Amino acid sequence: MRDVNTDNITDVFMGYFGKDTNPRLREIMLSLATHLHAFAKETNLTHDEWRRGIEFMEWAGRITDEERHEFVLLSDVLGLSALVDMIHSVPGGTSSSVLGPFHITGAPPLAFGADMKRHYEGPVLLARGTVKNMKGEPIEGAELDIWQTAPNGMYSSQDPDQDTYSFHGIQTTGPDGRYGFTTVKPVSYTVPTDGPVGDILNATGRHPWRPSHLHYIIKAEGYRTLVTEIFPDDDPYLDEDTVFGVRDDLVMKYVEQPAQTFPDGFELSGKVNEPYLLADFDLILTPAAEA
């Protein structure tokens, strides 16, 4: 095609596709091109502006490595990660939420009752609950991959002072579907702002804060894997999470308890002398999609 113009360019682009192109890829590329071309026309995008856009993406590429995922962060602050999540959420189960860029694989096993707080300063949080199906029946053998920040607001992969797997662990539920562990109360923290995403936040007058949370990925045979996070109801950033991850059903209370009520069966049993926080939160899984 030699008479390409602003009206036909999307059709011309699609016309270049081979006839054996995967239909789903064709559908996605058509929609992407339609919206991208409309975006350039609607905004009357200039060469300079698009060059800056490309420089932005090049910077994001340069800064990305095994531990720093700037494109994930970009998707998160644009609300795209949260939107994809919501489009595919299944009613009746615990809501899913953003994975974020700080999950690492290979976390060590965390036995029921084990402690992740160790020597870190801050209030003890006892988190527990039952992993259930939609009928309310406990799920045995569910695997909870748990991670959170240290009290300094950093994940282990961001912080040279932490061990690789500090505040990461994997717990498997027994026949009663129960999980339980102690940790330090998570804190609100900022997403990384020293890269191109930080520049965008700054240029658009946005703050980089996330409300404090515990991350979980819950896997169980026959159930859909749930990626989620739970938030305490008193966090000041609950209504302005910079990555749009908060859902009503993921907000719970940390209830302060006197030290003498600390239960048996935990690594810290008998060792807690100050009031501690209790977070009771059940996690409901939905059935796996039929293959």
Hey, what are 37's tokens? 């071309």
Comparing CB distances to ligand BEZ, the nearer of 103 and 219 is 103
What is the 3 state secondary structure string of 126-142? Answer: EEEEEEECCCCCECCCC
Q: What is the pairing mode between strands 143-147 and 276-280?
A: unpaired
Q: How far is the CB of 60 from ligand BEZ (least distance, A)?
A: 14
Binding partner of residue 101 among Fe ion, ligand BEZ, none, CB under 5 to 8 Å per kind? ligand BEZ
Rounded Cα distance between 9 and 154, Å, is 46
Residues 99-128, interacting with Fe ion (CB under 5 A): 100
Q: What is the DSSP letter of 269?
A: T
Comparing CB distances to Fe ion, the nearer of 139 and 230 is 230
Position with the least CB separation from ligand BEZ:
100
Q: How many residues bind Fe ion (CB under 5 A)?
A: 1
Q: Using CB atoms within 10 Å of the CB of residue 119, give its burial: 0 to 12 exposed, 13 to 18 middle, 19+ buried.
A: exposed
Cα–Cα distances in Å, from 229 out to 6, 38, 145, 164, 263? 45, 36, 11, 21, 24
Comparing CB distances to ligand BEZ, the nearer of 249 and 256 is 249
Q: Can residue 101 be called a binding residue for ligand BEZ (CB under 6 A)?
A: yes
Q: Can residue 191 be called a binding residue for ligand BEZ (CB under 6 A)?
A: yes
| Residue listed under structure tokens 């409300």 | 211
Binding partner of residue 139 among ligand BEZ, Fe ion, none, CB under 5 to 8 Å per kind? none
Rounded Cα distance between 163 and 153, Å, is 15
Q: Using CB atoms within 10 Å of the CB of residue 33, give its burial: 0 to 12 exposed, 13 to 18 middle, 19+ buried.
A: middle
Q: How far is the CB of 97 from Fe ion (least distance, A)?
A: 10
The contact pattern for ligand BEZ, residues 241-270, with x = CB under 6 A and - = no contact, is --x---------------------------
The contact pattern for Fe ion, residues 225-264, with x = CB under 5 A and - = no contact, is ----------------------------------------
Q: Which of 70, 76, 145, 235 binds ligand BEZ (CB under 6 A)?
A: 76
- Give the number of other Cβ atoms within 10 Å of residue 32's Cβ: 11
- Options 28-36, 94-102, 127-135, 156-164: segment touching ligand BEZ (CB under 6 A): 94-102
Q: Which of 13, 85, 95, 100 binds ligand BEZ (CB under 6 A)?
A: 100
* Amino acid (1-letter code) at residue 20: D
Q: How far is the CB of 259 from Fe ion (least distance, A)?
A: 29
Q: Using CB atoms within 10 Å of the CB of residue 122, give its burial: 0 to 12 exposed, 13 to 18 middle, 19+ buried.
A: middle
> Residues in the site for ligand BEZ, rule: CB under 6 A?
73, 76, 98, 100-102, 191, 210, 243
What residues make contact with Fe ion under the rule CB under 5 A?
A: 100
